Amino acid sequence: MLKTDSAFQKSELAKLLQACEESADFLTFRLHDSPFFIAYFKTLVKPEIIHHDVLACFKAKNPSALEEIKAILPIDDVSITDNITDIQNKLMTGSLIFYIKEGKPDCLVVPVPSVEKRQVTTPETEYTVAGPKEAFVESLDTNLNLVRKRLPIPELQVKELVVGKLSKTRVAVVYVKGIADPENVKTVIQRINGIDYDEIADTSFLSQMIADNKNSPFPQLIDTERPDRLAAVLAEGKVGIFSDGSPTAISGPVSLITYFTAFEDYLSIWNVASAFRLLRIFAVLFSILATSSYVAILTYHYEMIPRDVLSLLITSRGTIPFPPFLEAILLELAIELLREAGARLPTKIGQTIGIVGGIVLGTAAVQAGLTSNVLLIVVATGALASFTTPIYQVSSVIRLIRFPFILFAHLLGLVGVAVCFALLISHLLKLTSLGRPFLEPIYPLRVEDFKDSIIRLPFSKQALRPLQIRAQDRQRFQQEASQKKDWDIDD
Residues that bind another protein (CB under 8 A): 298-300, 302-303, 305, 307, 310-311, 313-320, 323-324, 369, 373, 408, 411-413, 416, 419
Identify which of residues 211 and 313 has a Cβ nearer to another protein in the complex.
313
Look up residue 54 and give its DSSP letter: I
**Dist CA 197 CA 175 (whole Å):** 25
Please report how close the Cβ of residue 394 comes to another protein at its closest, in angstroms.
Answer: 24
**Dist CA 153 CA 86 (whole Å):** 32
Please report how close the Cβ of residue 296 comes to another protein at its closest, in angstroms.
Answer: 11
> Which runs of E-coded beta strand occur in 72-163?
79-81, 95-100, 107-111, 156-163
Identify which of residues 161 and 305 has a Cβ nearer to another protein in the complex.
305
Identify which of residues 215 and 478 has a Cβ nearer to another protein in the complex.
215
Please report how close the Cβ of residue 212 comes to another protein at its closest, in angstroms.
Answer: 16
**Dist CA 302 CA 405 (whole Å):** 19
Identify which of residues 320 and 457 has a Cβ nearer to another protein in the complex.
320
Please report how close the Cβ of residue 414 comes to another protein at its closest, in angstroms.
Answer: 12
> Which runs of E-coded beta strand occur in 11-72?
26-30, 36-41
8 A C-beta contact, residue 282 and residue 260: no
Please report how close the Cβ of residue 92 comes to another protein at its closest, in angstroms.
Answer: 46
Query: What is the residue-wise DSSP string for 328-374?
Result: HHHHHHHHHHHHHHHHHS-HHHHHHHHHHIIIIIHHHHHHTTSS-HH
C-alpha distances out from residue 17 to 22, 33, 76, 474, 485, Å: 9, 21, 24, 55, 76
Query: What is the residue-wise DSSP string for 9-23?
Result: HHSHHHHHHHHHHTS
C-alpha distances out from residue 65 to 49, 61, 99, 116, Å: 21, 12, 10, 33
Please report how close the Cβ of residue 318 comes to another protein at its closest, in angstroms.
Answer: 2
Please report how close the Cβ of residue 341 comes to another protein at its closest, in angstroms.
Answer: 29
Identify which of residues 131 and 369 has a Cβ nearer to another protein in the complex.
369
Identify which of residues 410 and 451 has a Cβ nearer to another protein in the complex.
410
Identify which of residues 317 and 465 has a Cβ nearer to another protein in the complex.
317
Please report how close the Cβ of residue 289 comes to another protein at its closest, in angstroms.
Answer: 18
Please report how close the Cβ of residue 317 comes to another protein at its closest, in angstroms.
Answer: 5
Identify which of residues 351 and 363 has a Cβ nearer to another protein in the complex.
363
Torsions phi, psi for 158 (to 5 deg): -125, 120
Please report how close the Cβ of residue 88 comes to another protein at its closest, in angstroms.
Answer: 48
Please report how close the Cβ of residue 324 comes to another protein at its closest, in angstroms.
Answer: 7
The total of other beta-carbon atoms located within 10 Å of residue 381's CB is 15
8 A C-beta contact, residue 369 and residue 321: yes
- Greatest Cα pair distance in the chain: 99
**Dist CA 374 CA 317 (whole Å):** 9
Identify which of residues 420 and 471 has a Cβ nearer to another protein in the complex.
420
Identify which of residues 58 and 325 has a Cβ nearer to another protein in the complex.
325
8 A C-beta contact, residue 91 and residue 20: yes
Question: Smallest Cα–Cα separation from 192: which of 175, 169, 213?
Answer: 169
Question: Smallest Cα–Cα separation from 177: which of 237, 135, 89?
Answer: 237
Please report how close the Cβ of residue 421 comes to another protein at its closest, in angstroms.
Answer: 13
**Dist CA 207 CA 220 (whole Å):** 8
Identify which of residues 108 and 409 has a Cβ nearer to another protein in the complex.
409
Sign of CA dihedral 191, 197, 198, 202: negative
**Dist CA 67 CA 76 (whole Å):** 13
Identify which of residues 191 and 427 has a Cβ nearer to another protein in the complex.
427
